């Protein structure tokens, strides 16, 4: 462990933590987005609720998600620490500052953009994660899927005391009784003010990624005339497509 102590004690080490946790969070964004695309299915939430159950009960996923919470907190705490330290490195400010002449807007506002995203994660987890795990307002649905036609039918379900989510095979099909996170999402996104919070937060995420993605590779020491243009291209595409995919969900629900 002594070999790795530099990650917490030197400026370059702290930047490495920002880069590594940041890239891990980019990977998470992809997985999260792919899973959430199931919200577009008009199946009463069968696929999405099944997925939500899997993601909150599978031991491997649960372990990874604790790692994810740690990464989010580490990225945020180290980021705030670095931003405060960097401010201290220039106590007397410039009268005239021409930052736009030599650097991109997002690169100069990473801490603000990151703070917006951090607050958003809090709101977002309060909306859905907390409600799904601990809330008692969430409704339940019972689904049956026919093996031959793949058609899904569902009814509202009244959970008993200590109700467990379960799935089982039935005559000619499959059955699922689960918490209805799908409807929870749809109910939330029918309220315009929630949709705008989500869309604006995704805009902040886009600008954060626009600088952050390629910046992480520079911090890891990867800067090469052949590879850097590719990394920058992927970074720009990632910064546009991923937040756009996330923002599409609330907008779809609101305007459908």
Partner 1 sequence: MSENMNINLKVWRQPSDQNTGSFETYKVQASPDMSFLEMMDVLNEQIIEEGGEPVAFDHDCREGICGMCSMVINGRPHGPKQGVTTCQLHMRSFSDGDTVVVEPWRASAFPVIKDLSVDRGAFDRIIAAGGYVSVNTGNAVDANSVLIPKDTADKAFEAATCIGCGACVSACKNASAMLFVGAKVTQLSLLPQGQAERESRVVAMVNQMDAEGFGACTNTGACAAECPKEIPLSVIATLNREYTSAKLKGR
| Residues found near partner 1 in the complex (CB under 8 A) | 3, 6, 10-16, 82, 85-99, 101-104, 107-108, 110, 211, 214-215, 218-224
Torsion sign (Cα): 48, 49, 55, 59: negative
Q: Which is nearer to partner 1, 189 or 217 (CB)?
A: 217
45 contacts 181 by C-beta, under 8 angstroms? yes
Q: Which is nearer to partner 1, 63 or 104 (CB)?
A: 104
What is the closest distance, in whole angstroms, from the C-beta atom of residue 216 to partner 1 in the complex?
Answer: 9
Q: Which is nearer to partner 1, 60 or 98 (CB)?
A: 98
What is the closest distance, in whole angstroms, from the C-beta atom of residue 223 to partner 1 in the complex?
Answer: 3
- DSSP label at 104? -
What is the closest distance, in whole angstroms, from the C-beta atom of residue 213 to partner 1 in the complex?
Answer: 11
What is the closest distance, in whole angstroms, from the C-beta atom of residue 235 to partner 1 in the complex?
Answer: 12
Cα 239 from Cα 205, distance rounded (Å): 8
33 contacts 246 by C-beta, under 8 angstroms? yes
- How big is the chain, counted in residues? 256
Q: Which is nearer to partner 1, 203 or 231 (CB)?
A: 231
Angle in degrees, CA 212, 130, 30, rounded to 5: 30
Q: Which is nearer to partner 1, 100 or 148 (CB)?
A: 100
3-state helix, strand, coil in the chain (%, to 5): 70, 10, 20
What is the closest distance, in whole angstroms, from the C-beta atom of residue 169 to partner 1 in the complex?
Answer: 52
């Amino acid at each position: 462990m002594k070999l790795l102590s530099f990650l917490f004690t030197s400026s370059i080490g702290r930047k490495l933590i920002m880069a590594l946790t940041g890239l891990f969070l980019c990977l998470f964004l992809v997985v999260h987005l792919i899973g959430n695309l199931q919200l577009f299915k008009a199946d009463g939430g069968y696929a999405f609720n099944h997925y939500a159950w899997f993601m909150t009960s599978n031991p491997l996923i649960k372990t990874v998600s604790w790692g994810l919470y740690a990464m989010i907190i580490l990225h945020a705490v180290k980021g705030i620490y670095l931003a405060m330290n960097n401010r201290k490195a220039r106590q007397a400010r410039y009268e005239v500052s021409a930052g736009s002449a030599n650097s991109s807007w997002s690169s100069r506002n990473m801490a603000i953009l990151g703070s917006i995203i951090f607050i958003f994660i809090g709101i977002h987890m309060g909306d859905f994660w907390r409600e799904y795990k601990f809330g008692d307002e969430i409704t339940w649905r019972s689904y049956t899927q026919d093996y031959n036609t793949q058609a899904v039918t569902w009814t509202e379900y009244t959970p008993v005391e200590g109700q467990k989510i379960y799935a089982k095979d039935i005559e000619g099909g499959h059955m699922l009784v689960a918490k209805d996170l799908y409807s929870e999402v749809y109910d939330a996104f029918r309220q315009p003010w929630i949709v705008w919070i989500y869309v604006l937060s995704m805009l902040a995420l886009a600008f954060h990624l626009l600088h952050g993605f390629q910046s992480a590779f520079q911090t890891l020491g990867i800067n090469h005339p052949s590879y850097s243009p590719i990394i920058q291209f992927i970074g720009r595409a990632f910064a546009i497509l991923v937040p756009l995919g996330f923002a599409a969900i609330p907008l779809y629900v609101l305007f459908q």
